[in-house]
Amino acid sequence: MLEKLFVIKIGGQIIDHETKLVAFLASFAAVKEKKILIHGGGKLATTLAEQMNIPQQMVEGRRITDEATLKVVTMVYAGYINKHIVALLQARHCDAMGFCGADGNIMLAHKRKKGSIDYGFAGDVDQVNADRLEQLLQTGVTPVIAPITHNGQGQLLNTNADTIAQEIAKACSRIYEVSLVYSFEKSGVLLDVNDETSVIPSIHPADYEQLKSEQKIFAGMIPKIDNAFSALDSGVKQVIIGKAEQLQQLISNKAGTTISHEKH
Amino acid sequence: MLEKLFVIKIGGQIIDHETKLVAFLASFAAVKEKKILIHGGGKLATTLAEQMNIPQQMVEGRRITDEATLKVVTMVYAGYINKHIVALLQARHCDAMGFCGADGNIMLAHKRKKGSIDYGFAGDVDQVNADRLEQLLQTGVTPVIAPITHNGQGQLLNTNADTIAQEIAKACSRIYEVSLVYSFEKSGVLLDVNDETSVIPSIHPADYEQLKSEQKIFAGMIPKIDNAFSALDSGVKQVIIGKAEQLQQLISNKAGTTISHEKH
C-alpha cells in the first residue's frame, strides 16, 4: 500500500485575509501525513501592478502576463507570499521550504502558443519532477509551491495555481496515494450557489452525469469537477473541495465535497 | 580530508547588469566542486520602493527596514532576483534551488536590538542549518540564497548578504573545506584604490599587520579583511576577493586576493 500524500491548494481570498491565512496554516501544519501546499496569488499582485503603473489586462478571467507583469507576479507569488507562508509554517514547527517551478527543476512548462489570444508569459506545465518532490518529502520537508514555472531555458512563466495543484497531484500518484484538496472560501460543491448548506458530500461519475443532466450543479463548478475527474483518471485517489477553515474535516472526508470513484 | 565547498557571494552591481550576470552564472555553473551562491540585492529594491512611494532611509550605508521596506526586499531579493538566477542556472544544467533563511529553517536570526539607531526589521544571524545545506548538496542541489532570514516565530528579517555568506561559510566548515569567495566589480584588494592592476595577490596575518601599519590598504577594505580573518579563525580555509568576471581564476587562486593562514 502506498503512503498517503495530501496536495493542498489554498485559494487567493484566504491569502488576502491575514487572520484566515494564519488559522489555515495552523491546521495545515497539524496535518500528520505528508503534504504539499500550493498557493495562488490573491489581490496583492494587482495592487502592486497598479502602484507600479503597469496596466493589467484580463481576458476571460485570466491575466495577460506581459514582461512587467511577470516580474510583479514573480515578486509577489514566489517572493512575498511564498516566504511569508514558509516563515509562518516554520513558526508552527512545520519544516516548510518554498519553491517555484524553476527551483530544483520542479515544474517544467512551455510558453502558451499564441492562439486568438496572446497570454504572454503564461506557462502550460509539461512535466512535474515527482522524484525531487519525493526526495524532499522523505527528508521531512513540506514543499510550499508558488504558481511560477520555467521553460528550462532561463525563462520564468506564470501558471494557474489550480492547474499546478492538479499536475503535482497526478505526478505524485506514481509514488503516493494522493488526495488533492482545493480549499477556498466556499463549503464545497453546492446544489444551490447561494446556499452554503447545500453542499453535495460526495460525487461519483454516475451521480455526476445525473446531476449535470438535471442541471443541479452550478455551471461555474463544472470545469472544476471535470478537472477533478481527469485527475482521478490519472491516478489521484480523491479530490476534495471545501472551506479552508475546515481543513481537518476536509482531509477526513467529514466536510466539503469528495470526488472519487469509490463510495465513502 | 574534507570535500571542497565554494561559498560564493555575488555583488549587487553585477546583479544590476544583465549581461554581466548571465556571464557570471555561466562560469558559476561550470564550477565542478560543490557550491553555494549568495546574492545581494542591487538597485531594483530601491527602484521598486520609489515606485511604491515608500521613503527609503539609509543610515551609515545601511537601509532601515520598516515594514513596507521588508515587503519590498522580500519580493525583490527572495522573489524576482532569486528566481531569475535559479532559472538561468537551471538553463545551464546547474540544479539550483533558491532559498531564503526561512526555507527549511536554513538561517535563524533575531531582530537587531534598538541602540542609538533602530534598524527596524534587520536580522542578525544566530544559526546556520549546515546539516540541511549538506543534505541538499549531497543530493546534487546548488543552493542559491537570498539575504532574507527569519526569527523562527513567523517574522522575516532583512540581513546583509556579505554577513550571510560569511556565516554560511563558517557553519559549513565543520563539514567541508570551505573557500569563501566575494566576487564583485573590483579586481581584489588593491594597494591603490584607483589602480585595478595594484591587486595584492595574497594576504597572511603577518603581511596584513605590516600593510595596515604602512597604511597601504584602502580604508574601505579593512572591515572586509578583518571579517575575512574572523572567518579563517572559525575554520574557513581561505577567503578570496575579486572580480566576478574572473570567477574561474579566483577559485584557482590565479586572480584576486587570497586571504589565508597558508602561503600559496
Predicted pLDDT of residue A221: 78
Predicted pLDDT of residue B8: 98
Q: Which of residues 207-246 of A touch B (CB under 8 A)?
A: none
Q: B82 contacts in A (CB within 8 Å)?
A: 78-79
| Spans of all domains in chain B | 4-161, 186-264
* Cα separation, B78 vs A9, whole angstroms: 22
* pTM greater than 0.90: yes
The string of pLDDT tens digits covering residues B75-103 is 999 999 999 999 999 999 999 999 999 99
> Average pLDDT over chain A, rounded to whole?
93
pLDDT at residue B172 is higher than 60: yes
As given in the structure block, the three cell numbers for residue B236 are 574557513
Q: By the 8 A CB rule, do B199 and B257 touch? A: yes
Mean pLDDT to the nearest integer, A29-57: 92
Predicted pLDDT of residue B264: 52
The DSSP 8-state label assigned to residue A75 in this structure reads I
Question: If we measure between CA atoms, which residue out of A143, A221, A164 comes closest to residue A40?
Answer: A164
The verdict on B153 touching A (C-beta cutoff 8 Å) is yes
As given in the structure block, the three cell numbers for residue B63 are 537601509
A83:B78 CB<8 A? yes
The fourth-level CATH superfamily of domain A4-185 is: Acetylglutamate kinase-like (3.40.1160.10)
Q: B139 contacts in A (CB within 8 Å)?
A: 135
Confidence band of B31 (pLDDT split at 50, 70, 90): very high
The string of pLDDT tens digits covering residues B46-67 is 999 999 999 888 887 777 999 9
As given in the structure block, the three cell numbers for residue B253 are 587562486
Mean pLDDT to the nearest integer, B221-232: 88
The string of pLDDT tens digits covering residues A153-178 is 999 999 999 999 999 999 999 999 99
The string of pLDDT tens digits covering residues A82-139 is 999 999 999 999 999 999 999 999 999 999 988 888 889 999 999 999 999 999 999 9
The fourth-level CATH superfamily of domain B4-161 is: Acetylglutamate kinase-like (3.40.1160.10)
**Chain A residue at shortest CA distance from B52:** A51
Write down the ipTM of this complex. Answer: 0.95
pLDDT at residue A220 is higher than 80: no
The verdict on B142 touching A (C-beta cutoff 8 Å) is no
* Cα separation, A67 vs B237, whole angstroms: 43
> Average pLDDT over chain B, rounded to whole?
93
Counting Cα atoms < 13 Å in the Cβ hemisphere of A217 gives: 22
Predicted pLDDT of residue A263: 64
Predicted pLDDT of residue A194: 86
Average the pLDDT over each of A167-176, A230-239, B6-15, B191-200 and give the range with the smallest value.
B191-200
pLDDT at residue B134 is higher than 90: yes
- Pairing between strand A123-128 and A107-111? antiparallel
Alpha helices by DSSP H, listed for B9-145, are 12-15, 18-29, 44-51, 67-73, 82-91, 130-138
Predicted pLDDT of residue A213: 85
Which residues have a Cβ under 8 Å from the Cβ of A207 and sit 6 or more positions away? none
B74:A86 CB<8 A? no
As given in the structure block, the three cell numbers for residue B148 are 532574507
